[in-house]
């Protein structure tokens, strides 16, 4: 029950962050701003997470975990209600950025609880269960919100964010037991991992890896409309296919990262680069783009798990803070990736958005290879301790 509630809570928070992607064109039209300005709802949210990630989870790590969960979900619920009825774009922007600061607190807590519930050799599979909430929030929320907007209104679609937050809040209050922190690592011990070179190699690798994924994905709805010439209804279906495929990839990742983690991580950027190349040359073909979207979704689901695994593997003795760093790295990657890919769109054409992703994936591949040897040693050390 606890893992299910954590997964639901994570879904409600990530859904708030990423669900807006599917309605960016509608938001731009409704508030009279261009698509790049509307994209600030994605990039500034991610930036707020990146800024608060190293500090708030650390500062709040001493408090009862149930209290923290309730507080974060309440903030998200209230802010989403306000943004749904706002008549000014700046108000919408503010009420999205404010709860974003608390995003890493809840999500890092969820991963830490899942990790502590199993043997160390089974951590990837346990985390994969909670990661389903992350994956679902990132990708299923997009077509759901897009569909709601297409049959009702923008306001109703944005209220969906608050509804899911509210459900997660209620079940947390009723069913989650009190979770006081029994043992707490000092702030100095947790911050000490920032002195380790391997941690920084992992952080940089994940920044560019996630930037390569979500920099392109942030504009998928616009790409499908302008390049593939899909209708609004077909775009919603395509986004749903991507989301379901993402969850499939998430399930596959738990097994892959348990059996042959480093090899999978090293191969991942190259596999996604191939997908982007196919997308560039065949993105205007309806059937081909449908297949590409399916394969891309599976790889993106695997990539979400890789991001979390690669950073926490570099600092296994401080899981809470390592998970916070994971959120910082991924959201910073999303922020930078969306901005860079946006420049390709504004400066050249929407079809060239994949080039931003390819550049990011190439840089990530380089840093993954630099840190691979140390990560293999960390895996051996973890398994020897478990044995």
For every residue of 314-372, DSSP letters joined together read H-TT-HHHHHHHHHHHHHHHHHHHHHHHHHHHHHT-GGGHHHHHHHHHHHHHHHHHHHH
Domain of residue 372, CATH code: 1.20.1250.20
Pair 272, 216: CB distance under 8 Å: no
Query: Which SS3 state, helix, strand or coil, does residue 64 take?
Result: coil
Looking up tokens 């261009």, which residue turns up? 34
If one counts the domains in the chain, the total is 1
373 part of a folded domain: yes
What is residue 189's predicted lDDT score, i.e. its pLDDT? 67
Q: Tokens for 226? A: 């302008």
Burial per residue of 341-366, b for 16 or more beta-carbon CB atoms within 10 angstroms, e otherwise:
bbebbeeeebbebbbbbbbbbebbbe
Residue 34 lies in a domain: yes
Q: Determine, yes or no, domain membership for 106.
A: yes
Q: Which tokens go with 51?
A: 């800024």
pLDDT tens sequence for the chain (387 residues): 777 888 889 889 988 887 887 788 888 888 888 877 888 888 788 788 878 877 887 778 778 888 998 999 999 999 999 998 988 999 999 998 999 999 888 887 887 777 666 666 666 666 777 777 777 776 677 778 888 888 888 889 889 999 999 999 999 899 887 777 776 656 666 777 777 788 888 999 999 999 999 888 888 888 888 888 888 778 878 888 888 888 888 888 877 877 777 888 889 999 999 999 999 998 888 899 999 999 999 999 899 888 888 888 887 777 777 877 887 888 788 878 888 888 888 778 888 888 989 999 999 999 988 887 777 777 766 656 654
Q: Report if residue 193 sits inside a domain.
A: yes
By CB atoms closer than 10 A (0-12, 13-18, 19+), residue 34 is exposed
Q: Is residue 335 part of a domain?
A: yes
For residue 358, the enclosing domain spans 2-177+188-386
Whether 183 maps to a domain, the answer reads no
Domain membership of residue 182 (yes or no) is no
Question: Are the beta carbons of 307 and 209 closer than 8 angstroms?
Answer: yes
The alpha carbon of 234 is separated from its chain's Cα centroid by a whole number of angstroms, namely 24
Cα 236 from Cα 232, distance rounded (Å): 6
What is the model's pLDDT at position 2? 79
Q: What is the pLDDT of residue 383?
A: 59
CA-to-CA distance for 76 and 234, rounded, in angstroms?
30
Q: Is residue 101, in this structure, part of any structural domain at all?
A: yes
Note the pTM of the prediction, 2 decimals: 0.75
Q: What's residue 20's pLDDT?
A: 85
């Amino acid at each position: 029950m606890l893992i299910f509630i954590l997964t639901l809570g994570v879904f409600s928070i990530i859904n708030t962050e990423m669900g807006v992607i599917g309605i960016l064109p509608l938001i731009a039209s409704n508030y009279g701003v261009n698509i790049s300005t509307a994209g600030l709802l994605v990039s500034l949210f991610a930036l707020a997470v990146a800024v608060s990630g190293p500090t708030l989870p650390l500062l709040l790590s001493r408090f009862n975990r149930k209290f923290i969960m309730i507080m974060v979900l309440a903030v998200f619920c209230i802010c989403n209600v306000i943004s749904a009825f706002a008549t000014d774009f700046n108000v919408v922007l503010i009420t999205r950025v404010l709860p974003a600061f608390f995003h890493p607190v809840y999500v890092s807590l969820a991963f830490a609880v899942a990790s502590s519930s199993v043997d160390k050799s089974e951590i990837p599979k346990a985390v994969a269960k909670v990661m389903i909430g992350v994956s679902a929030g990132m990708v299923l929320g997009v077509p759901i919100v897009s569909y709601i907007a297409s049959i009702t209104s923008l306001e109703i679609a944005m209220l969906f964010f608050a509804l899911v937050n509210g459900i997660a809040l209620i079940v947390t209050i009723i069913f989650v037991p009190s979770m006081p922190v029994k043992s707490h690592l000092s702030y100095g011990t947790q911050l000490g991992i920032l002195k380790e070179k391997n941690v920084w190699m992992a952080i940089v690798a994940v920044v560019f890896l996630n930037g390569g994924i979500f920099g392109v994905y942030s504009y998928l709805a616009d790409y499908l409309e302008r390049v593939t010439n899909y209708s609004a209804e077909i775009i919603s279906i395509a986004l749903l296919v991507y989301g379901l495929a993402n969850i499939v990839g998430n399930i596959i990742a738990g097994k892959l990262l348990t059996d042959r983690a480093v090899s999978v991580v090293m191969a991942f950027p190259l596999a996604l680069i191939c997908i982007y190349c196919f997308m560039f040359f065949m993105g205007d073909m309806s059937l081909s783009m449908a297949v590409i979207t399916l394969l891309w979704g599976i790889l993106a689901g695997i990539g979400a798990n890789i991001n979390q695994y690669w950073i926490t593997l570099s600092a296994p003795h401080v899981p809470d803070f390592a998970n916070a760093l994971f959120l910082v790295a991924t959201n910073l990657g999303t922020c930078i990736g969306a901005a860079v890919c946006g420049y390709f769109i504004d400066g050249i054409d929407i079809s060239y958005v994949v080039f931003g992703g390819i550049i990011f994936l190439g840089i990530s591949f380089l840093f993954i290879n630099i840190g691979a040897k140390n990560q293999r040693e960390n895996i051996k050390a973890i398994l020897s301790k478990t044995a």
